[in-house]
Amino acid sequence: MARSKTSNAWLQEHVNDHYVHQAQKDGYRARAAYKLLEINEKDKLIKPGMWVADLGAAPGSWSQVAAKLVGNSGRVFALDILEMPFIPGVEFVQGDFREDAVLEQFTALLGGRQMDLVICDMAPNISGNAVTDQARSIYLCELALQFAQDHLKPGGNFLVKVFQGYGFNEYMAAMRETFASVVSRKPKASRDRSSEIYLLGKQKRA
């Protein structure tokens, strides 16, 4: 079957993508690693010894970055509906974040300890219907915020990918109620045409 013009353009862009080549060279599973690395360089989110939860982790590039930065004295807990091959220093649960049983299994891993940082690069499966996709995306972001509210220690931080559109302003307002400050980040590795933006909630209120 012939590829559509759109998929050909994507393939061409992907093949010529600096970050794709860099990821292959540096041993990261996806170009998304550089989004987290750039944000971390600016905001100093991940430090040795931290406990980090990575929601929507597969294929695992954010977990790779986090595990490297927290070192042997830290812990990284990852969750995704997709399979994720083993990463040293990362404990992984495969399952649907929207299901209570999966969330309970993931929470059990934490052993009652509160996280220093929650990161979430989750996105729904794209249906092609912009309204549906945005609603699904915001719903996942709301679940991630709820998780951060329940499992982040006071003063902890929360980094989440959000697509601008319906529900964005309300979501940002909800984050402002939970964190002392909320800033937006658009890393260079984020494609210009993408409406994705990263919101960083700093210092969870007690």
Domain spans, the chain = 30-204
Distances from the Cα of 76 to the Cα of 61, 69, 104, 114, 154, angstroms:
12, 10, 17, 12, 19
Backbone region of residue 167 per phi and psi (left: phi > 0; alpha: psi in -120 to 50; beta: other values): left
| Whole-number pLDDT of residue 193 | 78
**54 marked as part of a ligand binding site:** no
| Whole-number pLDDT of residue 138 | 96
Of 35, 47, 153, 161, catalytic: 161
> Which tens digits make up the pLDDT trace of 5-51?
556 654 555 555 788 889 889 889 999 999 999 999 999 999 999 99
161 carries an active-site annotation: yes
In CATH, what is the architecture of 30-204? 3-Layer(aba) Sandwich (3.40)
For the residues of 87-105, what is the DSSP string, one character each? -TTEEEEES-TTSHHHHHH
> Which tens digits make up the pLDDT trace of 153-204?
999 999 999 999 999 999 999 999 999 999 999 999 888 778 899 999 999 9
> Which tens digits make up the pLDDT trace of 137-146?
999 999 999 9
**62 marked as part of a ligand binding site:** yes
Q: What are phi and psi of 15, to 5 degrees?
A: -65, -35
pLDDT > 80? residue 89: yes
| Whole-number pLDDT of residue 11 | 55
**192 marked as part of a ligand binding site:** no
Q: What is the mean pLDDT of residues 73-80?
A: 97
CA distance 22 to 42: 20
Q: What are phi and psi of 177, to 5 degrees?
A: -75, -25
**80 marked as part of a ligand binding site:** yes
User: Scanning the structure block, which residue is given the tokens 């004295």?
Assistant: 73
Q: What is the mean pLDDT of the chain?
A: 92
Q: Are 116 and 151 in contact (CB under 8 A)?
A: no
CA distance 83 to 87: 12
> For the chain, where are the E strands, in sequence order?
51-55, 75-80, 90-94, 115-120, 152-163, 179-185, 196-204
